[in-house]
Structure 1
Amino acid sequence: MPTELLPHGSAFANCEEARLEVAYYLDTYFNLDGRYSALNYRSPH
Structure 2
Amino acid sequence: MHPVSGVTIGIIMSEDRLNLADLKAMTAKELLTIAEELEIENAS
Normalised TM-score (structure 2): 0.40
Name the one with the larger strand percent.
2
TM-score, normalised to structure 1, is 0.39
Query: 1 or 2 for the larger relative contact order (CA 8 Å, sep ≥6)?
Result: 2
